[in-house]
């Protein structure tokens, strides 16, 4: 499958060959408010100036009870009004291998109206995302434990409370002890995704009839018919596959406004793409499709600046209107190593639907987008979306490291790790996505 698309945005034929692997950065990065040393420790919090492209405020939580007999206080929190505006929140802690056993709730004050929201739960089970154990990304010294991020909209005040699950007990010596289960180093992360860069004259869809240049980065990869997709592969030296879906429209990183100076340089690849893991972002469903690029910029900044990952974890993201977005940099057609399914990032790709789908149903447009994307991307590697495959576990809470695990080619996150992701409602749609994807491939 060598060389089917040479650029990180994967444009067609001549346009693809004319673009560099790394997209141009949209602007200078905002200084990280929760800067970390190589040991992973935080330094003093700072706030970016409003005219910079996004910012992160990292605020330490404080005890909300005097009960310290069991170590750290079993309830911590923070109330702050008049902070620099933000739209996405999350909680992080020092050790990525420590589980937050408890409840995290937040309420926020809307910018402009001053109205406070009701209390909202933040998903604490985010340790099942991230780079595999033993990889350079996981062992960088920068990675922190983190909740899922929650999209709250334009806000300037916040109230957060973190409560330990005191119902759990452990045996210490000959007695049962009821400990505080909160991890150390709890911080509240307030993320301003910043405004998307204004499109330049050349920031428009790339086509085979127009040669793109590094200064004119494409904002989207246009849809192609199945025949055009096959011609594109042959033109770029790839072996034509008998079953491949038409390439769907994909909004590039430049299109959703990724600041390329935030992520680490370079890319990490695996040998092939044998499976696709479907996720939900657990960021909530309170967003409009026009806000999806802002939500993605917020997740990107949270993954890199707050959680300490090298880039956004997912290879692709999908909004409720069915728009597909390029995720982790390195080439949409290439086998880019993601950080989406702990233990199974090798030879797989991660697709995250923006939203939370435990009780809410995903849109039919989003499920169709999953089918279209997998029909094309898995088709590039000769994989049947309705089939089974084997992946070797890198370690997790379901499968020991080194075990060969038989999985559906299109699996949910919970198939590789004990988690609720991608939510019961989205997980229930995967059978339909498999059948539709295979049909798009012509099977």
Assign 418 a pLDDT band (cuts: 50, 70, 90).
confident
410 dihedral zone (left: phi>0; alpha: psi -120 to 50; beta): beta
Assign 66 a pLDDT band (cuts: 50, 70, 90).
low
Structure confidence at residue 374 (pLDDT) = 98
Q: Report residue 276 as tokens.
A: 């696709």
Model confidence at 197: pLDDT above 80: no
Higher-confidence position of 401 and 173: 401
Assign 64 a pLDDT band (cuts: 50, 70, 90).
confident
| Contact partners, residue 200, CB within 8 Å, separation at least 6 | 216
Structure confidence at residue 186 (pLDDT) = 96
Pick from 89-103, 218-232, 251-265, 413-427: least confident? 218-232
**How far is the C-alpha of 413 from the C-alpha of 353, rounded, in Å?**
12
Pick from 122-131, 253-262, 430-439: least confident? 122-131
Q: What is the sign of the dihedral through the CA atoms of 253, 247, 423 and 287? A: positive
Q: In what order do the strands lie in the sheet with 410-412?
A: 220-221, 250-251, 324-326, 316-318, 348-353, 275-280, 410-412
Model confidence at 407: pLDDT above 60: yes
Q: Which of 167, 182, 237, 154 is nearest to 70 (CA)?
A: 182
Higher-confidence position of 231 and 441: 441
DSSP string, 136-196: TTTTSS---EEPPPEEEEEEEEEEEEEEE-TT--EEETTEEE----PPSS-EEEEEE--PP
Give the pLDDT confidence of 8-21 residue by residue, as tens digits: 333 333 333 223 33
| Contact partners, residue 169, CB within 8 Å, separation at least 6 | 176, 177, 178, 179
Higher-confidence position of 185 and 24: 185
Higher-confidence position of 2 and 148: 148
Structure confidence at residue 195 (pLDDT) = 86
Q: Are 425 and 360 a contacting pair, CB within 8 Å?
A: yes
Assign 52 a pLDDT band (cuts: 50, 70, 90).
very low
What is the separation, in whole angstroms, between the first and last Cα of the chain? 21
3-class state of residue 48 by DSSP: coil
Task: Give the percent of the chain with pLDDT over 70.
Answer: 77
Assign 131 a pLDDT band (cuts: 50, 70, 90).
confident
Q: Report residue 377 as tokens.
A: 């991307």
Higher-confidence position of 363 and 216: 363
Give the pLDDT confidence of 159-180 residue by residue, as tens digits: 999 999 876 544 444 455 555 5
Model confidence at 28: pLDDT above 70: no
**How far is the C-alpha of 287 from the C-alpha of 298, rounded, in Å?**
13
Structure confidence at residue 132 (pLDDT) = 85
Assign 200 a pLDDT band (cuts: 50, 70, 90).
low
Model confidence at 196: pLDDT above 80: no
3-class state of residue 370 by DSSP: helix
Structure confidence at residue 34 (pLDDT) = 37
What mean pLDDT, rounded, does the chain reach?
A: 82
* CA distances from residue 242 to 11, 230, 383, 442 in whole angstroms, order as listed: 22, 9, 10, 9
DSSP string, 203-257: -S---TTS---TTS--SEE----HHHHHHHHHHTTPPPPSS-PPPPPEE-HHHHT
Give the pLDDT confidence of 276-329 residue by residue, as tens digits: 999 999 999 999 999 999 999 999 999 999 999 999 999 999 999 999 999 999
Respond yes or no on whether the N-terminal peptide bond of residue 422 is cis (omega within 30° of 0): yes
Give the pLDDT confidence of 314-339 residue by residue, as tens digits: 999 999 999 999 999 999 999 999 99
Model confidence at 40: pLDDT above 70: no
């Amino acid at each position: 499958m060598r060389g089917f698309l040479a650029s990180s945005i994967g444009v067609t034929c001549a346009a693809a060959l004319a673009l560099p692997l790394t997209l141009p950065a949209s602007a200078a990065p905002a200084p990280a408010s929760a800067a970390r040393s190589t040991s992973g420790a935080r330094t003093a919090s700072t706030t970016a100036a409003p005219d910079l492209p996004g910012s992160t405020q990292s605020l330490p939580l404080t005890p909300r009870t005097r009960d310290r007999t069991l170590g750290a206080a079993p309830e911590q929190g923070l109330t702050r009004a008049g902070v620099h505006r933000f739209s996405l929140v999350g909680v992080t802690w020092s050790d990525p291998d420590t589980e937050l056993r408890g409840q995290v709730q937040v309420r926020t004050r809307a910018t402009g109206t001053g109205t406070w929201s009701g209390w909202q739960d933040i998903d604490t089970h985010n340790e099942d995302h991230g780079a595999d154990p033993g990889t350079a990304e996981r062992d960088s010294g920068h990675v922190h434990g983190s909740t899922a991020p929650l999209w709250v909209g334009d806000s300037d005040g916040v109230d957060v409370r973190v409560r330990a699950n005191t119902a759990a007990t452990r045996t210490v010596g000959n007695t049962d002890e009821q400990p505080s289960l909160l991890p150390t180093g709890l911080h509240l992360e307030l993320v301003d995704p910043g405004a998307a860069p204004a499109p330049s004259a050349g920031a428009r869809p790339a086509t085979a009839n127009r040669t793109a240049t590094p200064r004119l980065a494409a904002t989207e990869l246009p849809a192609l018919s199945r025949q055009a997709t096959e011609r594109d592969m042959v033109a770029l030296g790839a072996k034509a596959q008998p079953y491949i879906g038409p390439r769907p429209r994909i909004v590039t990183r430049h299109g959703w406004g990724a600041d390329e100076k935030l992520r680490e340089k370079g890319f990490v690849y695996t040998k092939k793409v044998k499976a696709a893991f479907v996720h939900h972002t657990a960021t909530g469903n309170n967003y409009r499709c026009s806000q999806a690029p802002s939500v993605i910029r917020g997740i990107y900044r949270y993954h890199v600046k707050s959680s300490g990952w090298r880039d956004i974890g997912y290879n692709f993201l999908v909004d409720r209107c069915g728009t597909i977005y390029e995720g982790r940099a390195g080439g949409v057609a290439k086998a880019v190593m993601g950080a989406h399914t702990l233990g199974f990032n090798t030879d797989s790709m991660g697709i995250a639907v923006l939203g939370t789908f435990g009780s809410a149903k995903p849109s039919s447009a989003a499920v169709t987008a999953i089918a279209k994307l997998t029909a094309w991307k898995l088709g590039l590697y000769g994989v049947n979306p309705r089939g089974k495959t084997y992946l070797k576990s890198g370690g997790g809470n379901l499968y020991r490291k080194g075990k060969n695990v038989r999985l559906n080619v299109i699996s949910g996150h919970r198939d590789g790790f004990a988690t609720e992701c991608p939510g019961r409602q989205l997980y229930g749609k995967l059978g339909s996505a498999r059948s539709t994807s295979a049909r798009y491939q012509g099977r």
